[in-house]
Amino acid sequence: MFVVTKFLRVFLLCSIALPALAMPDVAVAKEKLRILAWPGYADAEIVAEFERRLGVAVEVSYVNSDDELWDRINRNNGAGYDVFAVNTAELQRYIDRGLTAPIDIANVPNHARQLPRFQNFASIPGVVRKGKVHAIPYTYSEMGLIYNRKTVKKIPDSMSAMWDPAYRGRVLAYNTSNHNFSIAALLTGAKDPFRLDEQAFKQAARKLVGLRRNVLAFYNSPEEAVKLFLDNDVALVFANYGTQQVQALRQAGADIGYIIPREGALAWLDCWVVTSAARDKSLAERWIDFTLEKKASDRLTTHHGLANTVTPFPGGNSGDRIIWLEPLEDYGKRKLLWDRIHSGDSLERF
């Protein structure tokens, strides 16, 4: 009897322990990839497929300006993110600060699928530092001017139209420090819109105060710009998101035109970058490789109106009126001045 009782006790103890041992997936959390991106760069459908394929979790956060992107990555040395998207000009200060990790191209085999102009890293300013690749090109666009075909009688040919008194209170501009100063510099005759001296800064700041007086609102996201356009009598929109905004407005039923101004349109090339604080660098590189597959790349174009780096972009603009972004002379100064302008400082204070 003692032997049977002892046997039963051991059997019951094992029965209690076995279920816990049989379900390891419940107890072990999935590895997580943390992405910081712009609207449209990491759609839920694409993310879900990546999660299924690799058996990982993905957390996507979005930004609406280069100033916000810098603040979030620079804070805590990028510890909250593994991979992010940034343009080649802005990228330089991240590399300078040690916030990026060189990318192992062997982990991005789909790079070989990219268009020839994006395969030669040495020919793309800003992506290589000391022989190491710090970024993989993903999408690009110029930043032209959108106009309302129903209310704008004469097609504008310059960004200066945003300052036209005829459009007082009917202009949508973008809430950012870097591009706004560069546009104002182009219009005030600065020698270099990316490297302003004291006099050029003063002229650009005063020009932007005048823009503030003319705008209905400074928008942050493409979705916000669409809503503002549809809900108000808007004549002009500075297209910071480029062709993405053009498609979004047309899909919403807006009757719009789009021009490249005579003084030139600023243009950006956005790239995927791995943070130096990435918890799993190879997983971040696999995400980059995944986004270069045809399905993900095509989605950029068909759903968001953006060029991708794998297939030619239909109707893309090119030529001497495209001004590719370059590193700026003083990011902090532009941000400080823009915050003052945006908050309402008077013309006399500049």
Classify residue 313 by its DSSP letter. P
The domain segmentation of the chain, as residue ranges, is 32-138+268-316, 145-259+327-349
Which residues have a Cβ under 8 Å from the Cβ of 46 and sit 6 or more positions away?
290, 291, 295, 296, 299
The answer to whether 32-138+268-316 and 145-259+327-349 have equal CATH topology is yes
Categorise residue 89: left if φ over 0, alpha if ψ from -120 to 50, beta otherwise: alpha
Q: How far is CA 114 from CA 85, 88, 136, 218, 309, in A?
A: 17, 17, 10, 35, 5
CA 18, distance to chain mean position in Å, is 49
pLDDT tens-digit map of 329-349: 999 999 999 999 999 988 888
- What's the confidence (pLDDT) of residue 346? 86
Q: Which of 144, 10, 153, 140 is nearest to 86 (CA)?
A: 140
pLDDT in tens, 274-323: 999 999 999 999 999 999 999 999 999 999 999 999 999 886 555 568 99
Q: Are 256 and 250 in contact (CB under 8 A)?
A: yes
Determine the pLDDT at residue 348.
81
222-238 per-position pLDDT tens digit: 999 999 999 999 999 99
Q: Which CATH number fits domain 32-138+268-316: 3.30.300.30, 3.10.20.740, 3.40.50.150, 3.40.190.10?
A: 3.40.190.10
CB 207 within 8 A of CB 105: no
Structure tokens at 97: 């600060």
Predicted pLDDT at 315: 66
SS3 (DSSP) at 121: helix
Instruction: Yes or no: say if 276 and 101 are a contact pair by the CB < 8 Å rule.
Output: yes
Cα separations in angstroms, 60 against 38, 81, 147, 289: 10, 9, 33, 17
Give CA–CA dist 5/3, Å, rounded: 6
- Rounded Cα gap, residues 10 and 222, in angstroms: 65
Q: Which amino acid is at 287?
A: W
Closest CA to 277 of 88, 150, 94: 94
Task: Dig out the tokens for 132 from the structure.
Answer: 């190491």
Q: Which residues contact 147 (CB under 8 A, 6 or more apart)?
A: 155, 156, 161, 235, 236, 237, 256, 257, 258, 259
SS3 assignment, position 103: coil
Would the pTM of this model clear 0.85, i.e. be above it? yes
**Which residues are bridge partners to 101 per DSSP?**
274
Supply the pLDDT for residue 49: 97
101/113 Cα distance (integer angstroms): 23
CATH architecture of 145-259+327-349: 3-Layer(aba) Sandwich (3.40)
The token pair at 290 is 């995944």
Low-confidence ranges of the chain (pLDDT < 50): 1-27
Residue 202 CA from chain centroid, whole number = 28
pLDDT of 349 reads 84
* Cα–Cα dist 155/121, whole Å: 38
